[in-house]
A and B are shown apart, each in its own frame.
Chain A
């Protein structure tokens, strides 16, 4: 298992960006109205700090992520925390899946039963997991190669439709500081979804490039969120953007190219499936991989089929309606992301400060 720097970059982008694109601008808008982009702007600092923290942990640890817990926290505590990570990853998969399916149901195929869409997406994920890790990571490369340019194109296309610079004015006023902090925290928490990369940075075939890869992925994530929030506010206006469940999407529906191509939202959604597929199968893979490592199993692939059932049922039972889903999700983002993706890595980081740096022998073994 060796990962090239570009593949690592794709993993990082895939973990945080696709879902964040749909929800960040909504959170920002509802918390800060037209000042949402300021929070995104400011969030680069905590995100950067978090990134440095991850890099430090990667550099100091002789083990990939779930085993690293045992290394830092002792065998038993490490295992217990590892087990809880399995649950967290499964929950993330399920909630992302449900979130996206609800998004599709809202905007495209309102008549199709929930279970069908959940089933289809799980089938795709299952197929990817069964194809093995290499296929998975290569498919993520395709996802990023197709998806990222497309999203930027969409954003650029949406910009001239109905842009009013005055929608951003007055900059910085009427902003509640607690809301601002909350927004920055949310932005960071969602970026913290890239924590599982602790596993993969270990397998990088070019450890010297981990830093630059992380920076590049943070830059893409940040730029994407900034543009999404900014352009949503610019084109929709803060107050009407606040109305919508998926404002970034409403912005897309307004795109009209040459008074001929219009209503291309479905195109956008179908490309978005790529990102969601990647996001779901990545966290699914993470839960299986963590499971394999914690329980020292020989392979993770045979866990894929049973876990698909768990995820499917969980995704369908997680909320009764979309309002509850949003609430659950927000809670999840705040508490679980905050706890498992920010708090625990911070503890690991503090422990890592007291640990001796890695012996040369392990370092060179890792490099090979």
Chain B
């Protein structure tokens, strides 16, 4: 089909859109085509000029203002063509070899490529390169002049650490790859390039370490990425939803991170990352749920405190998930479980509260989520103020008015604090959503309901996978060797192997004499 269309197009050239044209030998044709294409693009700079003394050549320079480094364009292209060209022996130059000469001797830039079509010209200038067209040649010369204003490299706000590297990714892909490359100085560390998005033409990087990554998984990722057809890719999540194993689930099968060191650590364990130009969020895959409990910081502090912190975080995760529903279940079904003295206090506090415990919990939890969301969205200056006002005023007033009981406020506040302990945002989201499901289950059947909801959640979790890796690995399927790095933090000197993944090429992390087995 395509072949036939192309043939028809050749016969009738007038119908070909300017974008599909090859670069013509006539500079004027090219200028015309580009002008048509870029009508309305006020930020484009098109400069026709003439260079050479004996051999006068017409040239045409095109780039986007702000994307390309104007000084570099002026110094390395315009200046060298118009001024430095005159310094070299003129007899070497002729109308025929001027293009090659330019490419090899004159344009003093490292990143040079030749182009053949108008479309490529457009793509390159859109990403900040400068294109030089020379009259009489059906090729264009592209110089890498990408340089645009960007956010400085910063510590990511939502992944705060006290120990260890603090650098985070920025929106610029090149800086990000540079940061990664600086940390992994191996030629085996590959970052393959893809362009995605029909309109946005976004650069996408798939990174991995050759020789560790399971090749089948890498192929699978590439294949799934290749099937995506979308007009624009603004963030990695655009891709994540396409390539996930299971799409309709609240359990994220990726890890999103902004931290350079975290990505490096994952890559070293044979995982793959996907990076998108324009977003500091990097997608790491495959990931299993228990690894959401691990904070990157764990590996930068001594393993004993790190293990204790990890246990604490695990407890906090359970509290954040279950505490409100446990409270509701106990208060409305299993009063006997509470020690008598405590129950007497709770009963006294609940006197006159008009709502059943379930409704009370639901109301307060919803309020908490509202406040949390509002705190995120509000302008930074007034955000904290509103959160404090919301928490203090609403909470206090509600208790005073007898709408809610103080124990419930304590429970919800405690749950809130615990939910911030989970290092991964994705796990936090699961907790926030599942908490309400558990609350309803507790309201319906008490502790029995919670347990049933828990079983259903666990079944769902074990039925998931992330690129073939079971989602609950290493808990189910159980792997004792890896469990020691899930609940506790394994000391580095005992970390002989990488976490196991199916098809992994090299699992040995430390080559010691006793532990050479794979």
Contact = CB atoms under 8 A, between A and B. Distances in A.
B455 A277 contact: yes
A267 B447 contact: yes
Nearest to B339: A260
B337 interface: yes
A142 B472 contact: yes
Given A139-B476, A141-B477, A274 B451 contact: yes
Interface in B441-466: 445-452, 455-456, 458-460, 462-463
A267 B337 contact: yes
A172 interface: no
Contacts of A260: 339
Contacts of A117: 448
B448 A142 contact: no
Most A CB contacts (10 A, CB to CB) among B333, B445, B455 go to: B455
Contact of B462 (A104, A138, A267): A138
B339 A266 contact: no
Interface stretch (A52-60, A123-131, A213-221, A289-297): A123-131
A251 B470 CA distance: 39
Given A4-B477, A7-B477, A138-B476, A274 B448 contact: no
A139 to B, nearest CB: 5
B198 interface: no
B508 interface: no
Given A120-B445, A266-B337, A273-B448, A128 B459 contact: yes
A145 B478 contact: yes
Contacts of B449: 120
B337 A142 contact: no
A108 B336 CA distance: 11
A134 B339 contact: no
Interface string A103-141: 010001100100001001101100110011011101101
B475 interface: yes
A139 B462 contact: yes
Given A109-B446, A145-B475, A139 B459 contact: yes
B334 interface: yes
Contacts of B460: 127, 131
Contacts of B463: 131-132, 134-135, 138
B339 A6 contact: no
Contacts of B456: 124, 127
Nearest to B473: A138
A150 to B, nearest CB: 12
Interface residues of B, number: 26
Interface string B336-354: 1101000000000000000
Nearest to A10: B478
Contacts of B470: 134, 138
A39 B52 CA distance: 107
A240 interface: no
A308 to B, nearest CB: 15
B462 A142 contact: yes
A278 to B, nearest CB: 9
A327 interface: no
Contacts of A120: 445, 448-449, 452
Nearest to B338: A263
A301 to B, nearest CB: 12
A367 B458 CA distance: 31
A264 B333 CA distance: 13
Interface string A178-218: 00000000000000000000000000000000000000000
Given A131-B460, A135-B462, A270 B333 contact: no
Most A CB contacts (10 A, CB to CB) among B337, B450, B463 go to: B463
Contact of A127 (B334, B448, B459, B475): B459
Interface in A262-288: 262-264, 266-267, 269-271, 273-274, 277
B503 to A, nearest CB: 15
Most A CB contacts (10 A, CB to CB) among B447, B452, B459 go to: B459
Most B CB contacts (10 A, CB to CB) among A142, A261, A271 go to: A142
Nearest to A117: B448
Contact of B337 (A124, A127, A264, A271): A264
Contacts of A6: 477-478
B458 A273 contact: no
Interface in B475-499: 475-478
B188 to A, nearest CB: 31
Interface string B421-452: 00000000000000000000000011111111
Nearest to B479: A6
B370 to A, nearest CB: 31
A136 B455 CA distance: 11
Contacts of B446: 108-109
Given A138-B462, A277-B455, A104 B448 contact: yes
A343 B21 CA distance: 83
Nearest to A6: B478
Interface in B312-358: 333-334, 336-337, 339
Contacts of B447: 266-267, 269-270
Interface in B56-81: none
Contact of A109 (B333, B339, B475): B333
A270 B462 contact: no
Given A134-B463, A266-B447, A139 B458 contact: yes
Contacts of A274: 451, 455
Nearest to A4: B477
Given A127-B456, A261-B339, A267-B337, A142 B475 contact: yes
B459 A270 contact: no
Contact of B476 (A112, A142, A267): A142
Nearest to A112: B445
B144 to A, nearest CB: 49
A123 B449 CA distance: 12
B478 A131 contact: no
Contacts of A267: 337, 447
Contacts of A104: 448
Interface in B229-280: none
A277 B448 CA distance: 12
A184 B460 CA distance: 40
7 contacts: A109-B333, A109-B448, A124-B459, A127-B460, A139-B459, A264-B337, A277-B455
Interface of A: 4, 6-7, 104, 108-109, 112, 117, 120-121, 123-124, 127-128, 131-132, 134-136, 138-139, 141-142, 145, 260-264, 266-267, 269-271, 273-274, 277
Rank and list the top 9 A-B pairs by shortest CB-CB distance, nearest first.
A135-B463, A138-B462, A138-B476, A131-B463, A141-B476, A263-B336, A270-B451, A273-B451, A270-B447
Given A108-B446, A145-B476, A266-B447, 4 more contacts: A120-B448, A131-B459, A262-B339, A270-B450
